[in-house]
Chain A
Amino acid sequence: MGQSIWNSMEQKGYSRRDFLQFCAAAATAAGFGQTGVAQVVSAFEKKEKPAVVWMHFQECTCCSESFIRASHPIVLDALLDVLSLNYSETLMAASGFQAEKSLNDTIANNKGKYIVLVEGAVPTKDDGVYCMIGGKTAESILQTVAKDAAAVIAWGSCASNGCVQAAKPNPTGATPIYKLIDKPVINVPGCPPIADVMMAVVTHLLVLGQVPALDSQGRPKEFYGRRVHDTCYRRPNYDAGLFVEAFDDENARKGYCLYKMGCKGPVTYNACSVVKWNEGTSYPIQSGHGCIGCSEAGFWDNGPFYQHLPSFPGFGIESTADTVGTVVGIATVAGVAAHAVVTNIRKRKVIAEVHAEDQKES
């Protein structure tokens, strides 16, 4: 320990030029701009590189998979190489007791200084038996690891909001991290989150040594401050009312808006339409499929992917609020019409009655 990032890069044979390139890429990724590069360089030269542990609980490892596909390979290389990734079930060489020792040592030697990255939700039902590592429940491991951490990042929707693990009926009681620990958690939702976003969040933490600005749901504002819809390149078609009506129609070929195909862009906070995926190649909407809202809480339970609004609960898959509303509306009109008919049939009697009463009273 005690080494800076520059020291360890130097030892590994990276040139000064590589290092500066890396700093520039990291500054860009974290959104500092040109003036920030110097700051990054000095931080990486002087600051002790932090120890990092990467925990895996109830998840599918798609977040890790995404992370290693970051578009600035040099950043990634360096981060993986130079970060003391002291513990990560999927990426470390050690196993068994060795691995556990490494985790325990990291915690013991870096109290208050290490960073915890959590991938996956934590099951809380039945004393947490649904996810155990080395005989310990995920929850107890999380508590131990988080206790003395400098910062906790929840990778992906599982750790941030439960994702598929917590989808109804949530048999294991899967719970997002922020509900279990009393430290502030940086939520980086998405299924998976965008690699460059993950990279940027980590870089921000490393360079400035502080948590990036978060919104009320603990998400970095920089990347989750706007809806996919707000920066979608198909947006002009939306405003013009030019919609794809079927996936194989002429409008789909013309690249019209996918709103009517159930695109969840208007309700989803993520950076897909700006940062894009796979080295900025594309993102779902660009390849012709609507957004499924993967970074929003409960997106598995938010109804069919190809429907604008969820089905109406209890009325079958196909019935939306509009179906139910139309039926209720028609029933109301029918009821009112029937009432009017009855009123008219009784009209003579009522009129006679009224007159009789008027007479009596006056």
Chain B
Amino acid sequence: MSTPSTVAGNGFSDNAIHPVEYRRVYVWELPVRVYHWINAVALVVLCVTGYLIGAPLRAFYAAEAYQQYWFGWVRFLHFLAAFVYVFNFAARLYWGFVGNKYSHWNAFFPLKKSQQQEIVDVIKADVLETRMHGPISTGHNALAGLIYFGTFLVFVFQTITGFALYSSMSNSWLPRMFTWIVPLMGGEFAVRFWHHLFLWFFVTFVIVHVYLAFYHDYIEGRGTVSSIIGGWKFDREKSGKAGNRK
């Protein structure tokens, strides 16, 4: 109780006598956290404006076109958020090579046996709600890492199709580099369809992701949610089991 980094089971007298010790670990460095929240905001903006581009609201307050420009603004916001999102994502990819081990690119691939074991364990914990028995990574658990990797692939896909669509309305070099995508995918119509369809991937991802962040915060009990805000997580110090392995 006297050590600052020690957490005592509240109310349980036994725990108070034999405290479980936790160590503070700085998991998500500032660039990762900044990336995360910029990305979250940009994606919400992209999803909302993208949806509106596909299915515009009936918002008439004017009779003549020159009196309003709301659809133009919606599209402008979409493109603005798109650029923020793409460069932010590029920065994160860079950080995957220079950041700490938790944000390193190899945390996203379950190449090690222990990571594969962890995937099974996490699926059991999430779906069957069993207790986690194996070690849990301090950073992303192996399943989360793999899913983020899949998500990154969708980021790339959405960027490619987005810029391909944008290339028909811009002369700047970046979108111009994507003109060849359009015939490759069978015309702008097809590109638009796929670009629109993947909107729903993001919607689904965000629902599950936010829920699981809360859920793991609860079952792991070591500050998962606050880690993406403040950067710190907690590892059990001397546990033989459910502690840190990385």
On A, residues with C-beta under 8 Å from B are 216-217, 227, 230, 236-243, 245, 254, 259-260, 264, 266-268, 293, 296-299, 302, 308-310, 312, 321-322, 324-325, 328-329, 332-333, 336, 339-340, 342-343, 346, 350, 353-355, 357-359, 361-362
Contacts and interface: CB of A to CB of B under 8 A. Distances in A.
Given A297-B186, A332-B208, A336-B208, A325 B65 contact: no
B210 to A, nearest CB: 9
Interface in B159-198: 168-169, 179-180, 183, 186-190, 192-193, 196-197
A230 B240 CA distance: 66
B58 A245 contact: yes
9 contacts: A227-B188, A240-B68, A260-B56, A293-B189, A309-B192, A321-B200, A328-B200, A332-B208, A355-B12
A267 B111 CA distance: 43
Contacts of A245: 58
Interface residues of B, number: 59
Interface in B57-82: 57-60, 62-63, 65-72, 74
A335 to B, nearest CB: 8
Contacts of B239: 361
A243 B56 contact: yes
A354 B60 CA distance: 58
Contacts of B211: 336, 339-340
B204 A362 contact: no
A267 B240 contact: no
Contact of B183 (A217, A309, A312): A217
Contact of A241 (B68, B207, B242): B68
Interface string B12-42: 1011001111000000000000000000000
A267 B192 contact: yes
Most buried by A among B15, B57, B74, B190: B190
Nearest to B242: A357
B131 interface: yes
Nearest to B131: A353
A298 B186 contact: yes
B215 interface: yes
A310 B180 contact: no
Given A242-B65, A264-B189, A361 B58 contact: no
A225 B240 CA distance: 67
Given A329-B204, A354-B221, A297 B19 contact: no
Given A296-B189, A298-B186, A332-B207, A240 B66 contact: yes
B218 interface: yes
Contacts of B20: 358, 361-362
B189 A240 contact: no
B154 interface: no
Nearest to A310: B193
A236 B72 CA distance: 9
A298 B71 CA distance: 29
